[in-house]
Amino acid sequence: MGKPKPPKPSKNQPKEPKEPEQEIPKWPPLRPSPPKAHTLSLTPLLPSHIYTTTGLLPAPLCKAYVSFLSSLQLSTTPVQRGKDYAARVNDRFQVWDPGFARVLWEGTALRELVLSFLSEDGKEEGEGGEDGEGNMWDGVPIGLNPNIRVYRYSKGQFFAKHYDDSNTLTLPPSSQKFHTTWTLLIYLSTCTGGETVFYPEPTRENRSPEPISVAPRVGMALLHRHGESCLLHEGREVTGGEKWVLRSDLVVSR
Ligand SMILES: O=C(O)CCC(=O)C(=O)O
Ligand SMILES: [Fe+2]
């Protein structure tokens, strides 16, 4: 299946002790309303691997969210190094919230942008088989992972190089198994430093590909493929301001 990969330095699925179930926050409404899909686009930075959308969320909405999220109890991740850990230094909050995952999927342009972009090579929507086989989302996109994560990086904080795993999940009451195939990052602030940087693997045609760097911009979304095809990536150290990120994943059925 996949091409051989160099040894992975770490994964970002640390086997953390199970935290007590987090109370669902009263997320502020999406106001002002996020722009409609026809005014936006998914821009390929590396086709089939990395896409960004500028202005998925309006800046005042992001500001309201940052202010709200600042009131939540965030926990600082310790520096951990080892086989199963990515050194990850940020303040984070994590909650299982299917309702908010739906709000982000349906209340923004994400759903439409993703569904209208089933293949990077310009194939028509729906191509790639009913079961989504062969399309770049690796299945039929059905929504976002209810496992919502919030990151705050202050000056000096970072997320060391790692790969993101694909996960299998069920969405009760159905017992059907779904899969996460792409990571979603929504930047809620603009900061200095803090770039999300990807390291494409060398190919025969390009033996030393340039890293691809994405500077956080308020309201911008980034989607990158994870699991088997995940590129090595990191969140560089923040050197000024705060970097706020909403993290989820694209969920597909197969
Ligand atoms: O914050 C970033 O720029 C990267 C975050 C990340 O890699 C992750 O959540 O797995
Ligand atoms: Fe990651």
User: For 135-173, how does the pLDDT look when each residue is reduced to its tens digit (9 = 90+)?
Assistant: 899 999 999 999 999 999 999 999 999 999 999 999 989
The closest-lying atom of ligand 1 relative to the alpha carbon of residue 236 is: 3
Kind of pairing between the strands at 232-235 and 196-199:
antiparallel
Positions in the chain short of pLDDT 50: 1-7, 13-17, 119-129
Q: What is the DSSP string of 106-125?
A: HSSSHHHHHHT-S-TT-PPT
The closest-lying atom of ligand 1 relative to the alpha carbon of residue 243 is: 1
| CA–centroid distance, residue 196 to ligand 1 (Å) | 7
Give the ipTM of the model, two decimals please.
Answer: 0.99
| CA–centroid distance, residue 181 to ligand 2 (Å) | 12
DSSP 227: G
pLDDT in tens, 8-35: 555 554 444 455 678 999 999 999 999 9
Q: Tell me the best of 167, 183, 185, 224 to mutate to test the pocket of ligand 1, counting ligand atoms within 8 Å of each CB and taking the most.
A: 185
| CA–centroid distance, residue 120 to ligand 2 (Å) | 22
pLDDT of residue 145: 98
| CA–centroid distance, residue 41 to ligand 1 (Å) | 22
Cβ neighbours for 129, distance < 8 A, ≥ 6 positions apart: 135
Cβ neighbours for 219, distance < 8 A, ≥ 6 positions apart: 54, 55, 56, 57, 58, 59, 61, 62, 186, 187, 188
pLDDT of residue 128: 47
Query: Ligand 1 pocket, 12 CB below 6 A?
Result: yes
CA 7 to mean position of chain CA atoms = 23
Cβ neighbours for 215, distance < 8 A, ≥ 6 positions apart: 190, 194, 195
Query: Ligand 1 pocket, 152 CB below 6 A?
Result: no
Q: What CA–CA distances, in Å, run from 132 to 51, 60, 175, 183, 206?
A: 19, 36, 20, 18, 30
pLDDT of residue 50: 98
User: Looking at domain 41-248, which of 3.40.50.970, 2.60.120.620, 3.40.640.10, 2.70.70.10 is its CATH number?
Assistant: 2.60.120.620
pLDDT of residue 11: 53
pLDDT of residue 97: 97
pLDDT of residue 21: 76
| CA–centroid distance, residue 127 to ligand 1 (Å) | 31
pLDDT of residue 134: 73
Q: State whether residue 79 is helix, strand or coil.
A: coil
User: Residue 150 forms beta bridges with which residues?
Assistant: 93, 246
Query: Ligand 1 pocket, 245 CB below 6 A?
Result: yes
Q: Which two tokens stand for residue 201?
A: 């693997």
